[in-house]
């Protein structure tokens, strides 16, 4: 996947002041008019601080309902029994799409409670509970975002410096090779700590104090700062740091600093029994002796910490997560409550992990992860997933939020990956946004899926001077391994690649054998020149590999000339182009 890296900011002397990235300081190029924007016109900066979520329609935000309906149909299908396996991919799901501060779409499917045991024995129909818009889910690792926000708040207040060793603030932490670990390393998963405590907290220790002591005594498996290792231990360490510095437990910190001010009424640790019928059921755990986990945190290590842990434990709804996302799109403020200063939000969407390509990470948020962000992927696109089947994607460039909540682990964790659903919902929203033609009323669009090919072919062309010059515009939003190639043939059977040169924001430098990548959200001007002594045919071929695609490719303004004549005017003669899996579209 393409990841255009931003400068590492580890040279910041003190995170109590922070830095502002250029994107957040740039003016809004749209003049505040959402309809002036398309997927090909990314926003700069934050939304007005007074932006509040409101209900609205897809049409009100100029969104195409078709791609979103396709995503809904996939979600519905995945909650139904597969004839091959005899069970669904996941029991149920709730999705929400937000665009320009408007909740434009809600969808729910399947069951919040469906099974009686780990093997998938269904409860009687009258005991099952369907999904609804306000179903409460165990967020799993999305909980890490709340721990991260508290850390950013403490840095903003000068209580900690994120660039200094944690051991300067947390007594007993600087042992067993952890003396150099900083909060920045914990927030970006570059501390070198193991993915999970070994032995596990719930199996290896008798009580909460001994489990927290085990976190203090952990030994990294890699030298701090030298490797990316996604680790729950990072957020468990941050929890201990935050609790020590403030003298408050993590659940109080999250409630007082985040969920309370934002009125996230269904978000927190250890939800009350009164809300149980609104909570999505989880796994039936036999080895742990817990039976059906329903209303209690699924993660065993978090469970062993009485449900309050830096890496897991938060329960929430789609509506509450949307508030969190909108607060960040607003630059840290929502309904008059400032949760973070803009300079701190900046740090959460700037890639600190340029040394670890593919593992882009801001302070707390994952960035630029096509495997679940789909067509919304960009260098500033923020998000996180949770093991229970939860996902939030926040795309500042289109001012959008995509939320996918499933009870993927009900009744067990072995029924398949939920990543297809994550990607489908993000792709649906991305494809619903317009890509405006550069010339005329339409452009050629190929939104093919995985393992597919699209070809747009010219008629036979005859140059009068032995040179064929090709000029066109391309909007390229694809996985890096999904190339758009311009090819030529003298016999219509054997094809050779033609080098092209692209110009524009995010375009590769110099002549290229193919174009690919995404996240830049701009049209490119592309040119090529072909020497030929006789007739030649050209084609644009876009090919996708077995997994992951972006929004797709648009071609427009196709003009092919020799030294004296127009050989093909794609705007006036689109009918001369032979299209396989390309279609003319006005958006």
Peptide bond preceding 469 in cis form (omega within 30 of 0): no
List, as one string, the DSSP characters of 361-391. Answer: B-SSSEES-HHHHGGG--TT-EEEEETTTEE
Q: Please, which residues have CB within 8 angstroms of residue 123's CB and are 6 or more apart in sequence? A: 113, 114, 115, 116
Both tokens assigned to 437:
């033609």
405: part of which helix (H) or strand (E)? strand 400-406
Gyration radius of the chain's alpha carbons: 26
Among the candidates 432, 463, 488, a domain finishes at 432
Token pair 């290590």: residue: 301
Residue 447 has pLDDT above 90, yes or no: no
> What residue spans of 220-278 are helical by DSSP H?
232-246, 250-254
Mean pLDDT over 483-505 rounds to 97
552-561 and 566-569 strand pairing: antiparallel
Q: Are 161 and 15 in contact (CB under 8 A)?
A: yes
> For residue 401, what are the β-bridge partners?
98, 394
Residue 305 has pLDDT above 80, yes or no: yes
> For residue 580, what are the β-bridge partners?
455
Same domain, 288 and 415: yes
Same domain, 412 and 521: no
Q: Which domain holds residue 531?
A: 443-585
Q: Are 355 and 340 in contact (CB under 8 A)?
A: no
Same domain, 153 and 130: yes
Mean pLDDT over 400-415 rounds to 97
pLDDT band at 509 (very low <50, low <70, confident <90, very high): very high
CATH number at residue 489: 2.60.120.200
65: part of which helix (H) or strand (E)? helix 65-78
pLDDT at position 533 is 87
Please tell me the distance from the alpha carbon of residue 516 to that of residue 518, in angstroms, as a whole number.
7
pLDDT at position 563 is 82
- Angle, vertex CA 363, rays to CA 506 and CA 27, nearest 5: 45
In the 8-state DSSP scheme, what is residue 257?
Answer: I
Q: Are 474 and 551 in contact (CB under 8 A)?
A: no
pLDDT at position 10 is 35
pLDDT at position 31 is 37
pLDDT in tens, 227-238: 999 999 999 999
For residue 472, which phi and psi values (nearest 5 degrees)?
-160, 170
Same domain, 338 and 235: yes
12 in a structural domain: no
CA distances in angstroms from 280 to 297, 308, 418, listed in the order given: 11, 19, 16
Same domain, 419 and 281: yes
Same domain, 537 and 560: yes
Token pair 């957020």: residue: 235
Among the candidates 403, 432, 461, a domain finishes at 432
Count of CB atoms within 10 A of residue 543's CB?
A: 18
pLDDT at position 16 is 41
> Which percentage of the chain shows pLDDT scores above 70?
94
Average model confidence (pLDDT) across the chain: 93
Same domain, 526 and 563: yes
In sign, the C-alpha dihedral spanning 33, 35, 36, 40 is: positive
Same domain, 422 and 468: no
pLDDT band at 23 (very low <50, low <70, confident <90, very high): very low
For residue 438, which phi and psi values (nearest 5 degrees)?
-80, -35
Please tell me the distance from the alpha carbon of residue 479 to that of residue 410, in angstroms, as a whole number.
32
203 in a structural domain: yes
- The number of domains in the chain is 2
Same domain, 468 and 341: no
CATH number at residue 306: 3.40.710.10
184 in a structural domain: no
Same domain, 396 and 523: no
pLDDT at position 343 is 97
312 in a structural domain: yes
pLDDT at position 37 is 63
CA atoms within 13 A on the CB side of 538: 28
176 in a structural domain: no
221 in a structural domain: yes
pLDDT at position 112 is 98
pLDDT at position 38 is 85
54-55 and 102-113 strand pairing: parallel
Same domain, 497 and 400: no
Both tokens assigned to 541:
């071929």
Residue 296 has pLDDT above 90, yes or no: yes
Among the candidates 432, 463, 493, a domain finishes at 432
Same domain, 203 and 86: yes
9 in a structural domain: no
Mean pLDDT over 277-300 rounds to 96
5 in a structural domain: no
């Amino acid at each position: 996947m393409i990841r255009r890296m931003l400068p590492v900011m580890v040279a910041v002397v003190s995170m109590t002041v922070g830095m502002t990235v250029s994107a957040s300081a740039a003016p809004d190029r749209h003049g505040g008019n959402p309809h002036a924007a398309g997927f090909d016109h990314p926003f700069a900066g934050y939304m007005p601080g007074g932006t509040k979520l409101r209900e609205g329609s897809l049409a009100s935000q100029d969104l195409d309902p078709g791609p979103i309906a396709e995503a809904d149909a996939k979600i519905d299908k995945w909650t139904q029994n597969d004839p091959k396996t005899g069970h669904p991919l996941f029991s149920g799901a709730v999705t929400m799409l937000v665009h320009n501060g408007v909740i434009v779409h809600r969808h729910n499917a399947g069951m919040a409670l469906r099974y009686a045991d780990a093997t998938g024995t269904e409860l009687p129909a009258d005991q099952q509970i369907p999904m609804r818009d306000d179903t409460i889910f165990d967020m799993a690792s999305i909980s890490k975002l709340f721990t991260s926000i508290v850390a950013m708040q403490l840095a903003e207040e000068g209580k900690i410096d994120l660039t200094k060793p944690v051991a300067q603030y947390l007594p007993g932490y600087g042992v067993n090779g952890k003396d150099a670990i900083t909060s920045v390393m914990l927030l970006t998963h570059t501390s070198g700590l193991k993915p999970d405590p070994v032995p596990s907290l719930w199996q290896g220790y008798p009580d909460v104090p001994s489990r927290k002591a085990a976190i203090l005594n952990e030994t990294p498996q890699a030298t701090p700062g030298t490797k990316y290792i996604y680790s729950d231990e990072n957020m468990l360490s941050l929890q201990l740091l935050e609790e020590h510095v403030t003298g408050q437990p993590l659940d109080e910190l999250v409630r007082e600093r985040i969920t309370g001010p934002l009125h996230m009424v269904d978000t927190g640790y250890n939800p009350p029994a009164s809300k149980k019928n609104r909570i999505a059921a989880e796994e039936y755990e036999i080895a742990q002796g817990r039976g059906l986990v329903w209303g209690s945190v699924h993660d065993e290590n978090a469970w062993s910490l009485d449900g309050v842990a830096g890496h897991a434990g938060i329960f929430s709804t789609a509506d509450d997560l949307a508030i969190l996302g909108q607060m960040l799109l607003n630059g840290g403020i929502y309904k008059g409550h400032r949760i973070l200063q803009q300079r701190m939000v900046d740090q959460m969407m700037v890639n600190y992990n340029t040394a670890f390509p593919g593992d882009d990470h801001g302070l707390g948020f994952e960035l630029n992860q096509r495997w679940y962000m789909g067509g919304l992927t960009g260098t500033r696109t923020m998000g996180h997933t949770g093991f229970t089947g939860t996902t939030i994607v926040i795309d500042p460039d289109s001012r959008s939020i995509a939320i996918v909540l499933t009870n993927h682990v009900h009744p067990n964790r072995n029924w398949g990956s939920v990543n297809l659903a994550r990607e489908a919902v993000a792709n649906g929203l991305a494809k619903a946004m317009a890509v405006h033609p550069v010339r005329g009323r339409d452009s050629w669009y190929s939104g093919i899926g995985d393992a597919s090919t699209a070809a747009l072919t010219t008629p036979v062309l005859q140059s009068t001077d032995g040179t064929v010059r090709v000029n066109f515009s391309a909007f390229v939003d694809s996985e890096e391994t999904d190339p758009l190639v311009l090819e030529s043939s003298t016999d219509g059977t054997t094809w050779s690649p033609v080098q092209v040169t692209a110009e524009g924001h995010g375009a590769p430098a110099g002549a290229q054998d193919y174009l690919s990548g995404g996240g830049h959200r701009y049209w490119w001007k592309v040119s090529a020149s072909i020497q030929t002594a006789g007739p030649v045919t050209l084609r644009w071929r876009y090919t996708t590999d077995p997994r992951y695609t972006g929004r797709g490719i648009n071609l427009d303004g196709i003009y092919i000339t020799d030294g004296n004549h127009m050989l093909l005017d794609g705007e006036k003669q689109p009918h001369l182009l032979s299209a396989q899996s390309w279609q003319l579209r006005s958006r």
